[in-house]
Chain A
Amino acid sequence: MKITNITSSQLNGRPRISAKVTWEDCDRPPYELYFETEAEFSADLTCSPHPFLVGCVVPALFYGEKRVKVDEGICPELKDNLTNAIAVFNHWFPEERSDPLKIDAKTSESPVKNGRTNRAGFFFSGGVDSFSLLRHNRLEYPRRHPGYFKDSILIYGLELDDPQAFQYVHNSLQPVAELFDLNMIPVYTNIYLEYRQEDAKNKFVFWWYYLMGSALASVGHALANRLDSVSIASEYNLPQHVPHGCHPFLDPFYSSFDFRVRHEMFTLTRYEKVKLISDWENALENIRVCNIFDRYSEGALNCGKCEKCVRTMMALLAAGKLEQTSAFPTQDVSPALVRKAIKLKPTRLPWYYELIEPLSEAGREDLVKEINDAMDAFYLLQNESRFKKTMKAVDNKFLDGQLRKLHRKFRSSSK
């Protein structure tokens, strides 16, 4: 893969940095990767190879490129770190490669920036994770500390790629940001749009297992003229973390000497995060957890029916706070709603499990029953499936599919 023509320009009144990405070892067509923002942040866009390199290494790895070549000099610490990130991916998701992906770039003599800006930013979606990260930052860092968040970043082009929905979210979060002494910086990028359609057919494996952290980090690097660090709010807590694309072990490897990527808030469970923000009125009123974007309208960003909304509503209920927020269409949760909305996966189990006790203490045994029923059904399905899977695997590996053939014969003869 070659990254060339790194330039800054203007498009429709917005400043942008862009680069041409050309694939060398697969049939994908070349494309222009860009990062754009609003005019007032024009000076903050960093026309360096770093955002493009960080944003392209993981796709290059995933699609089997032999190298990522950049003609401009890069930070030696970033080069070392990206080499670490590649090694982590190779270890977590081993594939048949003769050689690891190579970063083909010379290192620069000095850092990109002249000195620190002493500004820290974070990715702000309005969800429980990012609100709890902000809350924690405000509780722990004095205003004069370089780690005190001064800027929040809202990204168009990752999960959120509907312009109208993006505007609703921006309109909702802008006043919140001002209230919390933050600048809100929107960034528009096609870093994932290039792959999204094809990834959707593959259950978003590429996004979740590979690209997530590096995509966020590349957006951060695009603002390195302004920021010394960017924080990513962890989705999972420490025991829950499994190898995937946004991980406390991986994300710091997207850092350069003068720009740090931090993965935070993974020592708290989701319910602990809900409790952390539940006595923070402005957060409570402005939570946005729903990813069903076509249900968004101005001022109403949570559908109140999907799995994520219902789970969050239950957490707020357990914390005694659902009635105090108008962020959701209803201020109660019914067993029927839970039964309809709950969709268990292994990564979601701890989030439900931790609600059982507080819901019980809150006198909502009806909801506890729904959760327990759903978990029982999930474990039953897992156990059956695991046995079947094991037998299939044994048959394939040691018996050359004889059991499968026998089963087919038996089924066809019994018909």
Chain B
Amino acid sequence: MKLSRITKEKTGNRVRITASVSWEDNDLEEKVVFFETEEEFGSGLTSLPHPFVVGCLLPAFHHGEKRLAIDGPLCPELEEGLDIALHWLRHWYYDPHKSLPVIESKEKISFTNKPARAGFFFTGGIDSLATLRANRLHYPPDHPRYIKDGIIIYGQNIESDTHPDTFKKAVSILSDVTKEADVTLMPIYTNIRHLEAGRPFFDIFLGAILAASAHAMSNYLTSVSIAASDDIPTLTLVNSVHVKPYGSHPLIDPNYSSTDLRVIHEGLTRSRLDKTRMIAQWEAGLHNIKVCGPNWPGENCGRCEKCVRTMLALLAVDSLAKSNAFPDEDVSPDMIAGIHIGKPKFGYSVDDCYLELINPLLEKGRRDLVEEIQKLIDRSQGRQKKGIRSSLRKIDQKYLHGFFRQAKSFIN
């Protein structure tokens, strides 16, 4: 793969950086890849090739390109980190003998010594809201890691609502949240995902998309925080047949750093309920949560798995009725019965997010919801299969106190 003709130009009331991407070992057509932002943030866009290197390397690897040749300079720390990231990703997702593309650049660049400025990725979801909240609680305003800028990406969640008007409205709403926290929200528009738009690949690609977008703004930023989806007990560290690690991962994301820009994966010690509890104490965050799978960044539907899960968590911390972010102020058992969580192929099992709700909901007297959650988890783990296995399981549970189940897991 070759990256060339890296340019920066004004397009209407936006500024964009572009690069031509030519495939060398595949028949895929040449593309022009871009990162764009509003004119007021245009000076933050870099002229270096870094955003394109970070954004194109994984598709190049995925499609078996022998090299990634860059028509420009490259930070040696970034080059080193990309090699490490590829090794991890190959170890987790691909044949161990799949060759890694060689990164070829014209020269190695040094450090530009900019004043420190911290940013973070903001979707309005629980993870990113908690990242901002934690930052405000832990870092004093003069500290270089005190977040000053938020980045919201258009072009990443192509499976959700991609109407430009929905995005524009979301930026406006979420800007109110960030302004309250003294953060400037910068929208980044990119087509980087079009290099390989398949949904399964997105779960590998996500960290690189975020990091590439941050590198695009590296004239401004010296660090950027990516909110962790998992906490440490639920984090998948090693390749597993059942649950693969997610492509935005504490072992991966920091390797997308250059000497000029640190990529930080944050929030690893907080479970989803912990994060919800933090946001519940922050009015602006509470009213503007955006989690909906089908509709993001639009209104929360209140019916999809993610909405219902988040509503349950808010209910568990006595904050659902206080939030304007969802259409309902309560959750009914039927709402849980209507959702399905299949066995995950990537990332953590959402079962853990439901399991941690059980005790708090029981304490609130919501046994009706806990029973439905138990059934939901059983469905997700295939425990409702009919037939002799199911009957034997019931006998084991009822009369043998789970002896055979314990023996089986012990032997396994």
- Using a CB–CB cutoff of 8 Å, the interface residues on chain A facing chain B are 76-77, 79-80, 83-84, 87-88, 90-91, 107, 109-111, 116, 118, 140-142, 144-147, 238-239, 248-249, 252, 257, 264, 266-267, 390, 393-394, 397-398
Stretch at the interface among B57-65, B80-88, B314-322: B80-88
B407's partner among A91, A109, A398 (CB-CB below 8 A) is A398
If A76-B145, A147-B77, A238-B88 touch, whether A141 touches B108 (CB-CB below 8 Å) is: yes
A-facing residues in B360-411 (Cβ within 8 Å):
403, 407, 410-411
CB contacts (< 8 Å) of A110 on chain B: these are 140, 142-143
Please judge, given known A-B contacts A83-B269, A398-B407, whether A145 and B111 are in contact too, CB under 8 Å.
yes
Which 4 A-B residue pairings sit nearest by Cβ, starting from the closest? Answer: A87-B232, A267-B87, A76-B138, A140-B76
A88-B232 contact in complex given A140-B108, A141-B76, A252-B254, C-beta closer than 8 Å: yes
Nearest neighbor of A83 in chain B, beta-carbon distance? B269
A79 cross-chain contacts in B, Cβ below 8 A = 138
Question: In the complex, which residues of chain B have a beta carbon less than 8 angstroms from the beta carbon of A87?
Answer: 231-233, 268-269
For the complex with contacts A76-B143, A76-B145, A84-B232, 5 further pairs of A-B residues with Cβ separation under 8 Å are A87-B232, A142-B110, A144-B110, A145-B110, A267-B87
Give chain B's interface residues, CB within 8 Å of chain A: 76-77, 79-80, 83-84, 87-88, 91, 96, 108, 110-111, 113, 138-140, 142-145, 231-233, 235, 237, 250-251, 254, 259, 266, 268-269, 403, 407, 410-411
Q: A84-B268, A87-B268 are in contact. Are A257 and B233 (CB under 8 A)?
A: no
A397 and B232 form a contact (CB under 8 A)? no
A266→B398 CA distance, assembly (Å): 50
Q: Which residues of B contact A88 (CB under 8 A)?
A: 232
Give bound CA distance, A166 to B91, whole Å: 39
A238 touches B407 (CB 8 A): no
Residues of B within 8 A of A145 (CB): 76-77, 108, 110-111, 259
B113 touches A116 (CB 8 A): yes
| Across-interface contacts of A141 in B (CB, < 8 A) | 76-77, 108
Are the C-beta atoms of A109 and B142 separated by less than 8 Å?
yes
Q: Find chain B residues with CB under 8 A from A239 CB.
A: 91, 96
Given the known inter-chain contacts A145-B108, A146-B259, please indicate yes or no for A238 contacting B76, CB distance below 8 A: no
How near does chain B come to A258, taking the closest CB pair, in angstroms? 8
List, in ascending order, chain A residues with CB within 8 A of B235's CB: 91
Contacts of B233 in A (CB 8 A): 87, 91
> Closest residue of chain A to B146, judged by CB?
A76
Chain B residues, Cβ within 8 Å of A249: 237, 250-251
Within 8 Å by CB of A397, from B108, B254, B410, lies: B410
Task: Please measure, in the bound complex, the distance between the C-alpha atom of A107 and the C-alpha atom of B268, giving whole angstroms.
Answer: 19
Asked if A76 and B76 make an inter-chain contact with CB atoms under 8 angstroms apart, the answer reads no
Bound CA–CA A146/B111 (angstroms): 7
B83 nearest in chain A by CB position: A267
Give the Cβ gap from A108 to chain B, nearest Cβ, in Å.
Answer: 8
Q: How far is the CA of A142 from the CA of B411 in the complex (A)?
A: 54
Residues on the B chain within 8 Å of A84, using CB:
232, 268-269
Tell me, in angstroms, the Cα distance from A77 to B84 when the chains sit together.
24
* Chain A proximity of B293: nearest CB distance (Å): 28
Q: Which residue of A lies closest to B135 (CB)?
A: A76
Smallest Cβ-Cβ distance to A107: which chain B residue: B138
Q: How far is the CA of A107 from the CA of B233 in the complex (A)?
A: 26
Give CA–CA (A249, B254) in the complex, Å: 11
Nearest residue (CB) in B for A143 is: B110
**In the complex, which residues of chain A have a beta carbon less than 8 angstroms from the beta carbon of B79?**
140
Can you list 14 residue pairs at the A/B interface with Cβ under 8 Å? A76-B145, A87-B233, A87-B268, A91-B235, A107-B138, A116-B113, A118-B111, A141-B76, A141-B108, A142-B110, A145-B259, A248-B251, A264-B80, A394-B410
CA distance A398 to B401 in the complex (A): 13
Min Cβ gap B261→A in Å is: 13
**Separation in Å of the B363 CB from the closest CB of chain A?**
19
Select one of A77, A107, A109, A142 contacting B76, CB under 8 A.
A142
Chain A hits for B232, CB < 8 A: 84, 87-88, 90-91
Which has the most chain B C-beta neighbours within 10 Å: A77, A142, A398? Answer: A77
CA–CA, A145 and B96, complex, Å: 33
Do B143 and A146 touch (CB < 8 A)?
Answer: no
User: Separation in Å of the A341 CB from the closest CB of chain B?
Assistant: 30
B111: which A residues are within 8 A, CB to CB? 118, 145-146
Question: Which B residues touch A140, using CB under 8 A?
Answer: 76, 79-80, 108
Q: Cβ of B231: which chain A residues have Cβ within 8 Å of it?
A: 87
Q: B5 to chain A: closest CB distance in Å? A: 26
- The residue of chain A having its C-beta at the shortest distance from the C-beta of B113 within the complex is A116
Q: CB-nearest residue of chain B relative to A252? A: B254
Q: Which among B251, B254, B259 has the greatest number of chain A C-beta atoms within 10 A? A: B259
Does A80 lie within 8 Å of B138, measured CB to CB? yes
Return chain A residues, CB-CB under 8 Å to B77: 141, 145, 147
When distances are taken between beta carbons in the complex, the residues of chain B under 8 Å from A109 are 140, 142-143
CA distance A229 to B88 in the complex (A): 23
**Nearest CB in chain A: distance from B322 CB, A:** 28
Q: How far is the CA of A83 from the CA of B83 in the complex (A)?
A: 28
Instruction: Tell whether, in the assembled complex, residue B259 and residue A107 are in contact, meaning their CB atoms are under 8 Å apart.
Output: no
**A146 — nearest CB in chain B belongs to which residue?**
B111
A107 adjacent to B144 (CB under 8 Å): no
Q: Are A142 and B108 in contact (CB under 8 A)?
A: yes
Q: Which residue of A lies closest to B232 (CB)?
A: A87
Cα A238 to Cα B86 with chains together (Å) = 11
A125 to chain B, nearest CB (A): 21
Q: Which residues on the A side are within 8 Å of B113 (C-beta)? A: 116, 118
Chain B residue nearest to A249 in the complex (CB): B251
Complex: A248 Cα to B139 Cα, angstroms: 26
Chain A's closest residue to B237 (CB) is A249
Distance in Å: Cβ of B196 to nearest Cβ of chain A: 23
Chain A contacts of B269 at CB under 8 A? 83-84, 87
Question: How many angstroms from the CA of A118 to the CA of B110 in the assembled complex?
Answer: 11
- How far apart sit A394 and B409, CA to CA, in the bound complex (Å)? 12
A-side contacts of B266, CB under 8 Å:
80
How far apart are A402's CB and chain B's nearest CB, in angstroms? Answer: 16
Bound-complex Cα distance A252 to B410 (A):
34
